[in-house]
């Protein structure tokens, strides 16, 4: 079968428009996959068993493979396969352990692996608008991209009623070195940056927080474009308060995050019932006096919580389940609780470290994972705009040492060309 031929000789412009693009992954099966996900989410094991019977033609009484069966398999497989798996495991472990150590090539008896770090070519930043303007978000998105070495940084900001982007956001874009600014907001901005239009060329990585529509749009284009800081959506805070926590400070920090708008979360966690009552009274007072009272009341009505716990350890257990965007440890000896932190976008220790400081000028990024994605995601950072590429160089001795194991594994997996790629070099 002849290969498809492409000829770009003499082409002076960008190559992206003239080269074939991969098919949009998942478009043709979107509805089917969505139905499966919803069914498992709603029905759990029953759905998993039913779908396995329907799609894999297997009826399962138990989903988990018994531990004894897993252990016994290592004894049942052929000796050559077991040895190949063990050698591959050692190589994989050795390389990845080295990757986390100080810079330098990984060298192992005729094998050399270089670690290449390259910035993406084009980054797209989103800064929310509408209810408020966020020049700080422009800085938080664009500056790390520039630090990473990204060649082109573009920004989408929702236009105001007059069709213009506000001056504060534009000034931040100029100061941060943004190359292109577009007066486009919402899910349509995410789509434009992800897919590309006649006016807005597509980007490689898309970052920035937004409302639930923006966050969901980012989730749906993930895989077509890189999306950092998983589900950076409506704002969240958990304030852990103890017996000596100043009620006014805890209360204002709860209101700070509710101030961002609807669909957010604002939690108070404390082991002192009297302190909870004091802080709640302060929250009521601040909300009643705020010019954004109606918005605050709506947010707190749907996402405001006061949680009483047995003590600091249980408070941290609650915080880890919530996995908040912002976690404030407003207690004495706050840093002593840090070893118990398992899931949070950012942690603020003590009464002099409000999340508002991190929102603007502490240095770390305020684009943080929300909606419990802090279980697996992190704050935006320069590495989100970089690619890590490994370059492998083997000499003949290394191929002779590892090649037989590769042949064994490839044959086991039914991939004869993989095995022949080794045999032909032997």
Q: Please confirm, yes or no, whether 83 is among the known catalytic residues.
A: no
- Catalytic residue (choose from 325, 328, 366, 405): 325
Closest CA to 266 of 233, 227, 307, 230: 307
**Extended strands (E) in 31-163:** 106-108, 111-119, 122-126, 152-156
Instruction: State both tokens at 330.
Output: 């407003």
What is the chain's Cα-based Rg? 26
What distance lies between CA 226 and its chain's CA centroid?
Answer: 10
> Which helix (H) or strand (E) is 372 found in, with range?
none
Can you tell me the distance from the alpha carbon of 23 to that of 194, in angstroms, rounded to the nearest whole number? 14
Largest Cα span, the chain: 80
Q: Please confirm, yes or no, whether 326 is among the known catalytic residues.
A: yes
User: CB within 8 A of 349, min separation 6: which ones?
Assistant: 329, 334, 335, 338
User: CB within 8 A of 294, min separation 6: which ones?
Assistant: none
- Catalytic residue (choose from 326, 328, 366, 405): 326
Q: Is 117 helix (H, G, I), strand (E, B) or coil?
A: strand
The residues assigned a catalytic role are 325-326
């Amino acid at each position: 079968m002849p290969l498809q031929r492409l000829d770009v000789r003499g082409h002076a412009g960008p190559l992206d428009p003239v080269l074939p693009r991969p098919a949009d992954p998942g478009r043709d099966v979107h509805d089917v996959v969505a139905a499966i996900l919803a069914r498992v989410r709603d029905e759990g094991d029953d759905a998993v068993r039913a779908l396995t019977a329907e799609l894999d033609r297997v009826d399962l009484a138990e989903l988990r493979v018994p531990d004894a069966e897993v252990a016994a398999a290592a004894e049942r497989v052929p000796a050559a396969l077991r040895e190949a798996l063990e050698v591959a495991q050692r190589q994989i472990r050795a390389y990845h352990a080295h990757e986390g150590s100080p810079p330098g090539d990984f060298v192992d008896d005729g094998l050399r692996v270089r670690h290449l770090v390259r910035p993406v070519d084009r980054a797209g930043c989103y800064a929310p608008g509408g209810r408020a303007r966020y020049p700080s978000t422009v800085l938080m998105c664009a500056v790390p991209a520039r630090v990473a070495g990204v060649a082109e940084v573009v920004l989408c900001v929702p236009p105001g009623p007059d069709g213009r982007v506000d001056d504060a956001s534009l000034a931040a874009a100029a100061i941060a070195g943004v190359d292109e600014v577009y007066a486009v907001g919402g899910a349509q901005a995410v789509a434009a940056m992800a897919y590309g239009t006649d006016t807005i060329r597509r980007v490689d990585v898309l970052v920035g927080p937004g409302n639930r529509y923006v966050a969901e749009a980012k989730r749906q284009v993930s895989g077509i474009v890189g999306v950092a800081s998983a589900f950076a959506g409506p704002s969240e805070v958990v304030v852990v308060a103890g017996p000596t926590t100043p009620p006014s400070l805890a209360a204002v920090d709860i209101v700070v995050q509710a101030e961002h708008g609807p669909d957010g979360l604002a939690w108070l966690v404390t082991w002192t019932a009297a302190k909870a009552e004091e802080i709640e009274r302060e929250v009521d007072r601040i909300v009643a006096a705020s010019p954004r009272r109606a918005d605050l009341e709506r947010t707190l009505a749907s996402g405001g919580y006061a949680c009483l716990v047995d003590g600091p350890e249980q408070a941290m257990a609650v915080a880890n389940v919530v996995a908040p965007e912002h976690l404030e440890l407003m207690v004495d000896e706050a840093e002593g609780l840090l070893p118990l932190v398992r899931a949070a976008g950012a942690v603020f220790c003590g009464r002099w470290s409000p999340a508002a400081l991190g929102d603007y000028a502490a240095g770390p990024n305020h684009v943080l994972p929300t909606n419990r994605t802090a279980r697996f995601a992190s704050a935006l950072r320069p590495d989100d705009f970089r690619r890590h590429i490994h370059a492998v160089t083997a000499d003949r001795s290394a191929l002779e040492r590892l090649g037989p194991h590769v042949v064994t594994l490839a044959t086991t997996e039914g991939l004869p060309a993989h095995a022949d790629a080794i045999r032909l070099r032997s």
